[in-house]
Amino acid sequence: MAHGQFWNFVIVAVTLILYAIAWPTLQLTHHVSPPIMPFVAALAAFPFVLIRINAPLGWAVSAVSALIINRGPARTPGHGSFSLRGLSV
């Protein structure tokens, strides 16, 4: 396996792990209808795949996804933009 292919494999594997974590834990911070949970989790995890192809595009997709997720499904009460020691800001 060539050096570049190895890193491509690692990035895809990490992305799949991120997706596998994002999907079941989504209900902890957002009220999301179960049929759209995989899509919201994909918006959060899959921009990581773009890290080797086009990093600025991956960042842009991630930023737009964050806006869509923040404006789309309602957040769970008590979860602000970020929390510090239980304080929502």
- The verdict on residue 15 lying in a domain is yes
| Residues 26-50: tens digit of each pLDDT | 888 877 788 888 988 898 899 999 9
- The verdict on residue 33 lying in a domain is yes
The 10 Å Cβ neighbour count of residue 29 is 14
In terms of Cα–Cα distance, which of 52, 44, 37, 36 is closest to 19?
44
Q: Is the pLDDT of residue 87 over 60?
A: no
Q: How confident is the model at residue 1 (pLDDT cuts 50, 70, 90)?
A: low
Is-above-0.75 flag for pTM? no
- The verdict on residue 82 lying in a domain is no
- The verdict on residue 24 lying in a domain is yes
Query: For residue 44, what are the domain limits?
Result: 3-77
> Total structural domains in the chain?
1
CA-atom Rg of the chain in angstroms = 15
